[in-house]
């Protein structure tokens, strides 16, 4: 999805609500920044919202320094998943 406008945030919330009604767990990919949705919808497990190797071809933004920085920034607010082979 890779956007965080109001329409997309509402979409994620609708999906989380419907998934909970059907007893399904979710792992959102390319989601917006953490906002505490997991408190309301505990079936939302994680969000893969970090730079992975898909950015390697676009420059040097996804590098080991970035991976270390995530532990002190992104992990303060929520948990996350990384796509396979995303960590160098």
Residues marked active site are found at 54
Contact 47, 80 (CB under 8 A): yes
- For residues 63 and 4, give the distance between their C-alpha atoms in angstroms, rounded to a whole number: 24
Cβ–Cβ under 8 Å, residues 50 and 74: yes
Angle at 74 between CA 34 and CA 20, to 5 degrees: 30
N residues, the chain: 88
């Amino acid at each position: 999805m890779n956007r965080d406008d109001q329409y997309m945030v509402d979409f994620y919330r609708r999906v989380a609500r419907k998934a909970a009604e059907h007893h399904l767990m979710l792992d959102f990919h390319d989601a917006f920044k953490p906002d505490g949705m997991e408190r309301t919808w505990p079936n939302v497990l994680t969000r893969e919202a970090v730079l992975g190797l898909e950015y390697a071809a676009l420059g040097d933004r996804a590098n080991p320094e970035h991976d270390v920085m995530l532990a002190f920034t992104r992990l303060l607010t929520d948990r996350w998943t990384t796509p396979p082979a995303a960590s160098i």
